[in-house]
Amino acid sequence: MFNKIKIKNKNQKIFNLQKKEFLGNKKATQSSYMVTWTYRIVAIVLIVMGFIAILWIRFSQPYDIRPLEAAVIAKKSIECLSQDQMITNSTFNKEKLKGCLDLDEENIFLIMKFQGKNVTLGRDTLEMYCKTANVEMKYKPFCYEQNYDVLDENQKLDEINVFIALDKSGKNVK
């Protein structure tokens, strides 16, 4: 009933009791809202563009997965040669390793050393490329060497050395 009370002053503004605001110069109010929303939209667009730029910079670079692949191949090869979580001289052979792992022997070199025995798989020139540190090459193979503790047939802790050279530079690295 008494929602709007006219207050006479210089600007002839109307006061709304329900919203508790002046309803006066509507054009000036609308233009100020447009200016503030324009700044808000510009700020939001700049923030979104900055976020996209950061993601683009981070993920546009090629990522070399050869270290992860070498670690997985090393673990899989040890699991392949172990029987009941032990490695024996009878299970430590090249045929079992070839049957267990489906690897492209052109792009990999794998050598495992256990109790004086060696099992090799793949192209052995990759090992030579890994050992030449001062030679400049466009795509040098990734070299990975790790020692793992395993149980032998006497239930004693022994060490197995795994050396892997990966030359998948055309597939994994640009």
Q: Where are the domains of the chain?
A: 4-59, 66-172
Sign of CA dihedral 22, 27, 30, 34: negative
CA distance 108 to 126: 7
In a structure prediction context, what are the per-residue pLDDT tens digits for the chain, which is 174 residues long? 455 555 455 454 554 555 555 555 555 566 667 778 889 999 999 999 999 999 998 888 777 788 898 899 999 988 888 877 788 777 788 888 888 888 877 888 899 988 888 888 888 888 888 887 676 777 778 888 999 888 888 888 888 899 999 887 666 555
Question: Per the structure block, which two tokens stand in for 48?
Answer: 């979104």
Q: Half-sphere exposure (CA, 13 Å, Cβ side) for 128?
A: 4
Provide φ and ψ at 86, rounded to 5°: -130, 150
Which DSSP category does 83 fall into?
B
